[in-house]
Amino acid sequence: MLVDDFTVLENVMLGIEGAPLLGEATAKARTHLAELSKSYGLEIDPNAVIHDLPVGLQQRVEILKALYRGAEILILDEPTAVLTPQEADQLFLMLRRFRALGKTVILITHKLREIMAVTDRVTVMRGGAVVATVDTASTSREQLAEMMVGRKVLLRVEKAPATVGGVVLDVGHLDVIDGSGVARVKDVSFTVRSGEIVGIAGVSGNGQSELLEALAGMRRFTGEVLVNGKAVTGAHGHALARLLRRQRVSHVPEDRQREGLVGPFAANESAILGYQDDPACNGLILMDRRKIVSRCQSEMQSFDVRPCNPGLRTAAFSGGNQQKIVLAREMERDPALLLVGQPTRGVDIGAIEFIHRRLLEMRAAGKAILLVSVELDEILALADRILVMFDGRIVGELPRAEATEAKLGLLMAGVEGHA
């Protein structure tokens, strides 16, 4: 909602200049903005150009815009999705100050830790209806999770030590240039071994998505990629994607609706996307519809997809069940390497618990897993090693035992030397 080439001050006053002459309006706006910044602890250079600011400060400008317009109620929808832990803490400090001045904050989030840290009252919705409203001080994360799902949920991820084998994925000096000629991934090198989960952490927009898409055959890249010791750099586009399938690489894309499913298709059709040439899906001449439906039914039962109806239109399933359809399709093919992006984005706590358990089962079975997630809690819970990306580069690598939110947050903000 910000104009990239405008300054902070110009964005804040845009549309409500308040005076016929811009010079007079700007002087008044500058004074008012300085007062707001001091009152709410949102200090920022009014002359800074938006495209030069990190995303955390851009969000601060959005909040100042609302305050400048005299907002008494501030509604924030998943506000920490693009913030480092340190930036999230600064946001919560501002919200407490906003509350202390008699204002109202409505925070929409699925992160229980944030609810417990910053709210006074919490309303829980399930299935489109309000199921409870409670004082935050009188409840707990476990109770909130149970209300959200309708049953008890295990919030802790319990995993055995990794039994690590040989290198399955070997990436060397990989670069990705987008269609506009902008470098999105810059000289990235790493390995993933069998029996381990390697997590890639970073604020959204720092090259993680492009890296995952390149490794899945969706983007052109330069550099070296080996799967099970075999180079896969000689092809691109559909040919590369087919080659990766033959090397037993499965891919759960970040955006299930845009990249993982076809909404108007029946679930059994979405469940074979990318695998339609598999002999298990075909007869002598035509596709074997009965085999396809039967396999889909089995996958739906295994992944608890509701309703368990292979003929139902894909778009008719909830987001969590759509995600399970994608996960079942990719995980049930016995991959050697699973590339998985944002596995729990937009799903409820119960589905998160289920998805985490299945990923750990694959790890225990000796699969190599590359996990990209903006959820730092998820990375810390699942990963055995953590790579941090900033501005298209890997700026740090930490074994899980040494990783903390503080260390990762500094790396995510581009402060190197903390690995």
pLDDT tens figures, 204-235? 789 999 999 999 999 999 999 999 999 987 66
Q: Is the peptide bond before 307 cis (omega within 30 degrees of 0)?
A: yes
> Residue 73 corresponds to which amino acid?
I
pLDDT tens figures, 221-277? 999 999 999 998 766 777 888 889 889 999 999 989 889 999 999 999 999 999 988
pLDDT band at 419 (very low <50, low <70, confident <90, very high): very low
Query: Residue 418 pLDDT more than 60?
Result: no
pLDDT of residue 120: 96
Average pLDDT in the chain: 90
Between CA 410 and CA 234 the distance in angstroms is 37
Percent share of the chain, pLDDT over 70: 98
Query: Residue 55 pLDDT more than 80?
Result: no
pLDDT tens figures, 137-146? 999 999 998 9
Token duo for residue 118: 């910053």
Give 183's strand partners: 177
Asked if 193 contacts 200 with a C-beta cutoff of 8 angstroms, the reply is no
DSSP three-state, residue 224: strand
For range 340-355, the mean pLDDT = 86
Whether the domain at 8-119 and the domain at 156-248+334-419 fall into the same CATH topology:
yes
pLDDT of residue 235: 67
pLDDT of residue 285: 85
Burial of 273 (0-12, 13-18, 19+ CB in 10 A): middle
For range 338-367, the mean pLDDT = 91
Our CA angle for 308, 309, 313, nearest 5°, is 130
Measured in residues, the chain has a length of: 419
Within 78-163, strands assigned E span 104-108, 121-126, 129-135
pLDDT tens figures, 327-336? 999 999 999 9
| Spans of all domains in the chain | 8-119, 156-248+334-419, 260-333
pLDDT tens figures, 22-36? 877 888 899 999 998
Token duo for residue 414: 């581009």
pLDDT of residue 417: 56
pLDDT band at 123 (very low <50, low <70, confident <90, very high): very high
Q: Which fold has domain 156-248+334-419?
A: Rossmann fold (3.40.50)
pLDDT of residue 89: 85
pLDDT of residue 383: 97
Q: Which CATH number fits domain 8-119: 3.40.50.720, 3.40.50.300, 3.10.20.310, 1.20.1250.20?
A: 3.40.50.300
pLDDT tens figures, 141-197? 999 989 988 888 877 788 888 899 999 999 999 999 988 898 999 999 999 999 999
Q: Quote the pTM value.
A: 0.80
pLDDT tens figures, 64-121? 998 899 889 999 988 886 677 877 888 888 889 889 989 999 999 888 888 999 999 9
Percent share of the chain, pLDDT over 90: 59
Give 134's strand partners: 122
Nearest to 28 by CA among 36, 20, 19: 19
pLDDT of residue 37: 86
